[in-house]
Structure 1
Amino acid sequence: MTESRAPDATVPLDALATLVVPLGTLADAVRLEGGYFATTYRVTLGDGTRVVVKTAPSDSSRLMTYEKDLIRTEALVYGLAAAHPGLRMPRLLHTDFTRTVLPGDVVVASWLEGVPQSEAGFGSFDDDARAARARRDLGALIGRLANVTGTVFGYPQSPALQAATWRAAFTAIVEALLADAAAWDLDVSADRVRAALAVHGHRLDEVVVPSLVHCDLWPGNLFVDPATGEVVGVIDPERAMWGEPLVDVVGADPMWDGLERPEDAALVGSLDVSSPGPAARLLLYRMWLGLVMTVEGSPRGYTGDWAQWYRTTSHGNLHRALTALEALDLLDAGDPARV
């Protein structure tokens, strides 16, 4: 994240000071830029310790369905990560869900030193030893996340988007996105999306263990050693869900261009991505992420040339995934497991 010295008027210093009272006194606060959802500050305490204070938007009318109470999921995941140091996440230090100090939920976590991969001088799929190391480390991280399991599928903070089966939870999640698209008058080819779920939904039934999925492992959320590419930290798990590890493979490549890269082998590790079931699910998850990214720009008010590029690219990826799923239809139609 880049830094700005202009405090957000909605998060006055006295509120930040109140939020860190259990940890110490506030000496300095710097807003961290780069995110598009929460408001985040680096706070320096009187003893020199740095912590991160993060609060969610308070205007629920501009939140997508799955984004409501999202900061509570970040707190949950950081709590789980305390018992799993291999996840390389910050320590949860304090929470405030009373919405009295600030109108939104608040998480206070330890500060991670390091450089986001997005600022480290190499891309995820560059032909570079550092990029290769980062891909291997990310693949290993996805495997470690998968070893943390839950009891239901879906979003932890949203009972309406949970279910006993992955197919039911994923269907509810997609339907919520389609409802959000309709509310913002966006054309996301809802009929094609529902048809893809009808044809390939049985493939989701092959997933029987709810694994922890970060969902947002793009380079901005990975801290690396810029000299070696080693992944040394992971942040922003507020979008996490209980699902299938393949979701994280998709989340690590959000601007998917449809190409299959040899380098992907390091990212997927031991995960099966070529058998009929996983191959179909991977496309369903690309469809899901295309939906998320196509819809989110409207409630968040994205503007300018970048916003147009983002919208066009996301919409293109949604249709690329749908077209690929439709190409699988004839192959899948004769599968006796399809119901």
Structure 2
Amino acid sequence: MLLPPLDVATYPTFNMSRGAYASRPPRPSSIVSSTSSSSSTSSRTCTASPDFPRIQKLICAVFRSSRITVQQAERLQSRIHQVYLTRLADDSSLVLKCLPTANVRLLRHEKHTLGTEVKTLETLHEYTQLPVPRIIKYDSHGGHFGSPFLIMSHLPGRRLSELSPHLTTAERSAIDRTLGSYVRSLTSLSATQFGMTHRVFEHKGCKSWREAFLALLEAALRDAEDMLVTIPYDSVRYYVSKHSHALDEVTEPRLVALDVCSPDNVLIDEYTKRVTGLVGFSNVIWGDALMNGGIANGTKAFFEGFGECPMRTGGIKIRMFMYTIYRAILAVVAHHYRPHTGMDELEVRRELVCALNELARM
């Protein structure tokens, strides 16, 4: 399915009726409440941006009504953006996503994340039936709020990363099968150019996947160089360039959601153990469908849902090693920019070296 670049964003109208959005009870330790009198809570929220009064003012302005009351605003876990789950007086919920704070250093490919997420979600709602959030309001300038922001519907469910240790083998296989079918839906979407989403929709993308992928890889390497991260730069550039002809086998740009199957981005019903939603579409490009999240380490059940298991021979095998190298470099560099405990850098570096050695032997 060929998608023309979309230049005009349209925002659906939502009625703020009770039960319009499912939500889970917020955790007290991370809540900003209009009725809270805890000094410890106040000390935590006074440094957060936006604070509770600004959230209330923004929601009222978006829906053009002073009658809407925000009862609670819970800060959600996010490695880059400021994300808040806001609970309204009618018990409905919205998600507010804002730019990172000034002290968060971004990688080169992270400069247009909000715009990328908006374009991607609009496209998915128009051309697929995937369970993803709906855009309620996106303001790329920020207006009275002062900085760009995105408001989305809130999807029910808990993160797969939270429930994974408690799933049976059959339950996990069913989830993987569903994810495989969802990734297949993503790969059915195509565009007219290759590269980063914001450039493709501005008609400034690349004509070939080779050009686009090499630019992505070089940007990641330069981010690493900026932080003096130890990586085999010369070997990566040499062997990827040597085998770059395999990238020319990709002739049609397909939607590539790099983080689509990340356990933190898959929402699960904790009772039925079924997938209820997918989130995290800020890291999306147009290129080789085999670069989509989930494919590199897909299980048998995943590929049953996907419809096929790509034969890792010839050019496909070469490209898969290149994508492993790219993902590993991004992970290592991001960890140096924004350290977090959930990343095993040694294991990621091992994957990088193994993939690089495989390319060297070809």
Aligning the two structures, in what range does the TM-score lie when normalised by the shorter sequence? Answer: 0.7 to 0.9
Q: Does 2:338 match 1:297?
A: no
* Cα distance per residue 1:286-312 (max 9 Å; x no partner): 111001000012222x16xx27x5322
Aligned counterpart, 2:53? 14
SS in 1 for 2:138: strand
From 109, 128, 151, give the equivalent of 1:108. 151
CA apart distance, 1:75 = 0.8
Which consecutive unaligned segments of at least 5 residues does structure 2 have?
1-23, 32-43
* Cα distance per residue 1:28-50 (max 9 Å; x no partner): 23334332111110112343321
SS in 2 for 1:209: coil
Aligned counterpart, 1:145? 186
Q: Distance in 2 between matches of 1:264 and 1:196?
A: 30
Q: Distance in 2 between matches of 1:321 and 1:207?
A: 20
Aligned counterpart, 1:218? 262
Alpha carbon RMSD of aligned pairs, Å?
2.7
SS in 2 for 1:120: helix
What is the TM-score with the length of structure 2 in the denominator? Answer: 0.79
Give the alignment of 1:48-87 within 5 angstroms: 48-59=91-102, 62-87=105-130
From 34, 38, 43, give the equivalent of 2:77. 34
Give the letter aligned to residue 214 of structure 2. T
Q: Does 2:360 match 1:326?
A: yes
Q: Distance in 2 between matches of 1:129 and 1:244?
A: 31
- 8 Å contact kept, 2:177–2:302: no
- Relative distance call for 1:316 and 1:211 in structure 2 (3 A) is same
Comparing 45-54 with 128-137, which one deviates more in the overlay?
45-54
Give the alignment of 1:83-232 within 5 angstroms: 83-102=126-145, 104-122=147-165, 128-158=169-199, 162-216=205-259, 217-232=261-276
Q: Does 2:294 match 1:252?
A: yes
Aligned counterpart, 1:334? none
* Cα distance per residue 1:112-155 (max 9 Å; x no partner): 011211112448xx870111111111111111001122121111
SS in 1 for 2:137: strand
Compare CA radii of gyration and give the structure with the larger one.
2
SS in 2 for 1:83: helix
Aligned counterpart, 2:279? 235
Give the letter aligned to residue 184 of structure 2. G
- Relative distance call for 1:195 and 1:80 in structure 2 (3 A) is same
Give the letter aligned to residue 148 of structure 1. L
Comparing 205-214 with 170-179, which one deviates more in the overlay?
205-214
Comparing 12-21 with 74-83, which one deviates more in the overlay?
12-21
SS in 2 for 1:233: strand
SS in 2 for 1:22: helix
* Cα distance per residue 1:245-267 (max 9 Å; x no partner): 2112xx3389x7xxx96556446
Give the letter aligned to residue 62 of structure 2. P
Give the letter aligned to residue 243 of structure 1. G
Comparing 72-81 with 161-170, which one deviates more in the overlay?
161-170
- 8 Å contact kept, 1:86–1:141: no
Give the letter aligned to residue 177 of structure 2. R
What is the TM-score with the length of structure 1 in the denominator? Answer: 0.84
Comparing 218-227 with 260-269, which one deviates more in the overlay?
260-269
SS in 1 for 2:84: strand
